[in-house]
């Protein structure tokens, strides 16, 4: 029996709803496979602000550190938008990533055949898209100092710093090359080296790292061109490597290739000293919270990634992925990926269908 301790941070908005579907799936996995989960629920984000005045209580970070993996749903909401920056939910998110040294964020973008019509992009362009964005997560513009807003020459100026040490670039580049080795063996590194010094260093170090990966093809693209190419011909990409801000933007763009941000999972990991964080790419979607409208698939696929990357269990990863594909092939859709003549379901029903499918797959194994 494999015992796994998972800290679950359900957060705000649709977070608790999609977490609930994730928990149902974990129960099914316990029934079918040789796992036992200890799920520890902790407050994080807006709910922690409401209770303790801060988004990331020490006790929450502590529990995350002591777990085998962290499952995070989503945080934030309009109620917290006007708080001072240090008290906002997003500050908690940055604190969690930094606290667990989660410097690499993996965001797979797979265009499911059955959803090709849900995207705003033409079917023939999208078909066959299967790429992964490797985003640097603990450096760059989101963390660099100096930063702030101050008075200069009688007016307010705002500033942030895009800063990378070569060791930070080297470690994320290695992650991208290692992943490419197990895929189609191509890394596209994005930067703005024609303008930014920090990008020139990024390009130089990535090129240096590539020398240890002669079996992987490296190309460099300026970030503006990369974002255009992602829409023009997404099939050309295998692994896209990006610094923090560029990766944030590119992966939301990637979300639209899949039809909805409600479909996109992610994994955030470090060097193995701390557990990895698995979370949907989407936010707390306050506009649909509490209405049984949220798509739980991003959360469910994040759980699949947890089995692949933290528990080294491709068998369960494949079972979950196949189950999601089957349910979509059968025409079931949440509202965000609704199509003509589909079978419209709510959050709970979609979770039930996927769990049932996982059970039926396992019976056939």
Nearest distance, CB of residue 208 and ligand NAD, angstroms:
32
Nearest distance, CB of residue 22 and ligand NAD, angstroms:
12
Name every residue whose Cβ is closer than 8 Å to that of residue 344 and which is 6 or more positions away in sequence: 333, 334, 335, 338
Q: What is the DSSP string of 114-132?
A: GGGGGSSS-HHHHTT-EEE
- Residue 146 buriedness (CB in 10 A; 0-12 / 13-18 / 19+): exposed
| Cis before 363 (ω within 30) | no
285 binds ligand NAD, rule: CB under 6 A: yes
- From 26-34, 74-82, 224-232, 313-321, give the range in contact with ligand NAD by CB under 6 A: 74-82
10 binds ligand NAD, rule: CB under 6 A: no
284 binds ligand NAD, rule: CB under 6 A: yes
294 binds ligand NAD, rule: CB under 6 A: yes
* Residue closer to ligand NAD (CB basis): 177 or 246: 246
What SS3 state is found at 274?
coil
Nearest distance, CB of residue 167 and ligand NAD, angstroms:
26
Q: Which of 217, 173, 214 is nearest to 191 (CA)?
A: 173
247 binds ligand NAD, rule: CB under 6 A: no
Residue from 61, 264, 298, 300 in contact with ligand NAD (CB under 6 A):
298
261 binds ligand NAD, rule: CB under 6 A: yes
Nearest distance, CB of residue 359 and ligand NAD, angstroms:
23
74 binds ligand NAD, rule: CB under 6 A: yes
Nearest distance, CB of residue 209 and ligand NAD, angstroms:
28
> How far is it, in rounded angstroms, from Cα 102 to Cα 364?
37
How many binding residues for ligand NAD (CB under 6 A)? 21
Residue from 90, 113, 318, 352 in contact with ligand NAD (CB under 6 A):
90
Q: What is the DSSP string of 215-246?
A: TSEEEEEEHHHHHHHHHH-GGG-SEEEE-HHH
Residue from 16, 55, 92, 262 in contact with ligand NAD (CB under 6 A):
262
107 binds ligand NAD, rule: CB under 6 A: no
* Residue closer to ligand NAD (CB basis): 78 or 128: 78
SS (H, E, C) 46-86: HHHHHHHCCCCCHHHHHHHHCCCEEEEEECCCHHHCCCCHH
**What angle, 0 to 180 degrees and rounded to 10, lies between the N-to-C axes of helices 314-329 and 297-309?**
160
Nearest distance, CB of residue 163 and ligand NAD, angstroms:
23
- From 167-175, 207-215, 283-291, 306-314, give the range in contact with ligand NAD by CB under 6 A: 283-291
336 binds ligand NAD, rule: CB under 6 A: yes
Which positions are annotated as active-site residues? 142, 192, 224, 248, 252
Tokens at 19, concatenated: 């977490």
> How far is it, in rounded angstroms, from Cα 118 to Cα 256?
9
Binding pattern for the stretch 13-42 against ligand NAD, x by CB under 6 A and - elsewhere: -x----------------------------
342 binds ligand NAD, rule: CB under 6 A: no
Name every residue whose Cβ is closer than 8 Å to that of residue 292 and which is 6 or more positions away in sequence: 17, 346, 347, 348
283 binds ligand NAD, rule: CB under 6 A: yes
> How far is it, in rounded angstroms, from Cα 95 to Cα 101?
10
> How far is it, in rounded angstroms, from Cα 362 to Cα 340?
31
Residue from 16, 55, 57, 77 in contact with ligand NAD (CB under 6 A):
77
Rule CB under 6 A: which of 160-219 touch ligand NAD? none
DSSP class of residue 345 equals: -
DSSP class of residue 42 equals: -
By CB under 6 A, name the binding residues for ligand NAD.
14, 74-77, 90, 93, 261-262, 279, 282-288, 294-295, 298, 336
């Amino acid at each position: 029996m494999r015992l796994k301790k998972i800290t679950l941070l359900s957060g705000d908005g649709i977070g608790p709803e999609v977490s609930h579907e994730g928990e149902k799936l974990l129960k099914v996995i316990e029934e079918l496979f040789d796992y036992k989960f200890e799920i520890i629920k902790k407050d994080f984000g807006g709910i922690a602000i409401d209770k303790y005045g801060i988004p990331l209580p020490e006790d929450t970070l502590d529990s995350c550190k002591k777990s085998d993996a962290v499952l995070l749903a989503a945080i934030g909401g309009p109620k917290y938008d006007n708080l001072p920056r240090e008290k906002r939910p997003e500050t908690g998110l940055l604190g969690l990533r930094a606290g667990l040294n989660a410097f690499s964020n993996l965001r797979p973008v797979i265009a499911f055949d059955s959803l090709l019509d849900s995207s705003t992009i033409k079917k023939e362009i999208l078909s066959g898209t299967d790429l992964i964005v490797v985003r640097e997560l603990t450096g760059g513009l989101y963390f660099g100092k100096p930063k702030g807003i101050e008075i200069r020459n009688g007016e307010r100026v705002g500033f942030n710093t895009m800063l990378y040490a070569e060791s930070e670039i080297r470690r994320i580049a290695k992650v991208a090359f290692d992943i490419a080795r197990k895929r189609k063996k191509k890394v596209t590194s994005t930067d703005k080296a024609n303008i930014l010094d920090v990008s020139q260093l990024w390009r130089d170090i990535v090129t240096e790292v590539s020398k240890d990966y002669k079996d992987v093809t490296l190309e460099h693209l300026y970030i503006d061109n990369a974002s255009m190419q992602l829409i023009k011909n997404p099939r050309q990409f295998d692994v896209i490597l990006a610094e923090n801000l560029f990766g944030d933007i590119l992966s939301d763009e990637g979300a639209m290739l899949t039809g909805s941000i409600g479909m996109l999972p992610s994994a955030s990991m470090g060097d193995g000293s701390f557990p990895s964080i698995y979370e949907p790419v989407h936010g707390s979607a306050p506009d649909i919270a509490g209405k049984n409208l949220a798509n739980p698939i991003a959360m469910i696929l994040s759980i699949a990634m947890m089995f692949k990357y933290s528990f080294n269990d491709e068998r369960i990863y494949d079972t979950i992925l196949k189950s999601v594909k089957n349910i979509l092939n059968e025409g079931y859709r949440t509202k965000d990926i609704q199509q003509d003549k589909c079978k419209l379901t709510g959050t709970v029903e979609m979770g039930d269908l996927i769990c049932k499918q996982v059970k039926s797959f396992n019976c056939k194994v």
